[in-house]
Amino acid sequence: MLRLVRLVVDRLAIAANAIGTLVVLILVVVVNFDVAARGLFNSPFLGAVEVVQFSMVLIVFLQLPDVVRVDRLTRSDGFLVALGLRFPGVSNFLQRIIDGASGIFMSLVAIALWPEFVDMWETQDYFGVPGVFTAPWWPLKLTIFLSAALCTVLFTLKMICGRRLDIDGADSMAADS
């Protein structure tokens, strides 16, 4: 059962990462269109700034679960790697504690975002300049909520299944589960 949950969660993280990559490509098109419109027609794409702001948050939170999945969060794990060479059990225990704390933090983010999402959904609040460019807030809040919830599940699975940090720091959790 745990393997099935892990497979589903991994595939969701990979899919979210792919969607985040598509948002990057869309962002490239928007920025290039804005530059071309400014240069060729002396008329910028209205709302380009808002689209870039919206997209940056989407990109980060769509790709975050896959970053957690492949254990590529920015961190300093030199101590755990060195400790793992001599005391792998202690290193594994500490890593599980860190994963548990990370899961708790991400669950708090999800819990804090849910009421904001519901509020934005009900009020249909938007950002941007009326008459120029507006977009609703709720998709952004929902993306952050879902990303934090998925990261919570990923960290929980890492805490339960454990992982062993190899000498090069690579995550070999799959071998442990």
Domain count, the chain: 1
User: What pLDDT, on a 0 to 100 scale, did the predictor assign at position 78?
Assistant: 85
pLDDT tens digits for range 102-116 = 999 999 999 999 999
Is 22 strand, coil or helix? Answer: helix
169 is in which domain, residue-wise?
2-176
The predicted model scores a pTM of: 0.86
pLDDT averaged over every residue in the chain: 89
Phi, psi at 104, each rounded to 5°: -65, -45
| DSSP letter (8 states) at residue 90 | H
